Structure 1
Amino acid sequence: MRADAARNLDAVLRTGARLLAADPSTSMGAIAAEAGVDRRTVYRRFPSREALLAAVFQAKLDSAERVLDEARLVEAPVAVALHRYVEGIVPVSRQWPVDVRRMMRADPVANARRETQSARLDRFVERAAAEGLFRADVPPAWARATLDHLVDTVAHDFPDLAPPQAADLVLKTLLNGLGPH
């Protein structure tokens, strides 16, 4: 793929993710205009909004897969792997703000891939609990749900917080709570 075509594709995907997250009924023409490309360019690659959304979901899944791999959830010490994961997934959440619940309904193949990634993270949280990162009275499912909500909050409600600082804040909150110690 030519460099300009790759840039255009990236612009369309990222713009589509942002605009469709804000308004799922955004037109392909609006996405093309915002991305700075011709409508025909978008339609040549994506014949429908659903096709574009499927490509956005795949791009988000590709990015999340890289984060899971780079965090080394199985090999690294749990606290290090957790920080790496959060620091990596915050930018993914910001770059690809589409709601994964839409993906679950719209694309069974992408949903299966997302479920596989989710299972990896579940196993990691269970490992973290078994190694004492969380209190013994906190079920791993609660720790996982809390982690997901904290990541979503820091990624979208605190966009000016750099990923390393966002990861620090998430881990402090997750591991220490909000009360004085």
Structure 2
Amino acid sequence: MRADAARNLDSVLETAALLLREDPNASIAAIATRAGVDRRTVYRRFVTREALVAAIHRAKLDACWEVVDDARLDEAPVTVALHRYAEGIIGVSRRWPIDLGRLPDDAESAPRLRELLGRLDAFMDRAAREGVVRPGLPDRWARSLLVHLTNLAAHEMPELTPAKGADAVVESLLDGIGT
């Protein structure tokens, strides 16, 4: 793909993610206009609106996987990995402000999301085994709390940088369920 075509694709996907958060019924024409491209450019790449939405979800999922890999949840000290994850995911959530829980019926993305959430659950289990969070919480409780806190920092506290948001997430999570 040519560099300008790749830039246009990124611009369309990011613009669509932002615009669809503001207006879930935004048209392809509105997305194209806001992205600064012709609507035919969007339709050449995405035959339907659903294909565009699926591509946005895949882009966010890819970015989330990169954050999880970079955080080194399996080997970094728990608090370090937790902060890396929170800081990275706040940035991703701001760039791609869509809810992965509303993934389109996509045979590729749904299993990848389940695997990603499984990795977060395994990380939180590790945190409990290592005494960083209290053991015995209901299944998925710590991971769900982490997801909600990062979403709070990303979307309801835009004045926080991702680093400051991660500080708040880690402090809130560990003081709330820490040992």
Instruction: Please give the range of the TM-score, normalised by the shorter of the 2 chains.
Output: over 0.9
Compute the displacement of 1:160 (Å).
2.1
Instruction: Please name the residue that 1:135 is paired with.
Output: 134
Q: Structure 2: which 5+ residue stretches go unaligned?
A: none
Whole-Å separation in 2 of the counterparts to 1:168 and 1:138 = 23
Whole-Å separation in 2 of the counterparts to 1:146 and 1:75 = 22
> Secondary structure of 1:79's partner?
helix
Residue type at the aligned position of 1:98 = I
* Contact 2:73-2:81 at 8 Å conserved across structures: yes
Whole-Å separation in 2 of the counterparts to 1:56 and 1:63 = 11
Instruction: Please name the residue that 2:144 is paired with.
Output: 145
Whole-Å separation in 2 of the counterparts to 1:116 and 1:68 = 11
Residue type at the aligned position of 1:16 = A
Whole-Å separation in 2 of the counterparts to 1:136 and 1:98 = 31
Deviates more, 1:88-97 or 1:130-139: 130-139
Residue type at the aligned position of 1:12 = V
1:82 maps onto 2:72 in alignment: no
Q: Indicate the RMSD between aligned Cα atoms, in angstroms.
A: 1.5
Whole-Å separation in 2 of the counterparts to 1:44 and 1:137 = 52
Instruction: Please name the residue that 2:68 is paired with.
Output: 68
> Secondary structure of 1:177's partner?
helix
Compute the displacement of 1:124 (Å).
0.4
Compute the displacement of 1:137 (Å).
4.9
* Contact 1:21-1:99 at 8 Å conserved across structures: no
Whole-Å separation in 2 of the counterparts to 1:37 and 1:111 = 30
Percent identity (aligned): 56
**Greater than 6 Å deviation, 4+ residue runs:** none
Deviations 1:94-121 (CA, angstroms, capped at 9, x unpaired): 1111122220x43232111111111011
Q: Structure 1: which 5+ residue stretches go unaligned?
A: none
Distance 1:102 1:140, change over 3 A: closer
Instruction: Please name the residue that 1:52 is paired with.
Output: 52
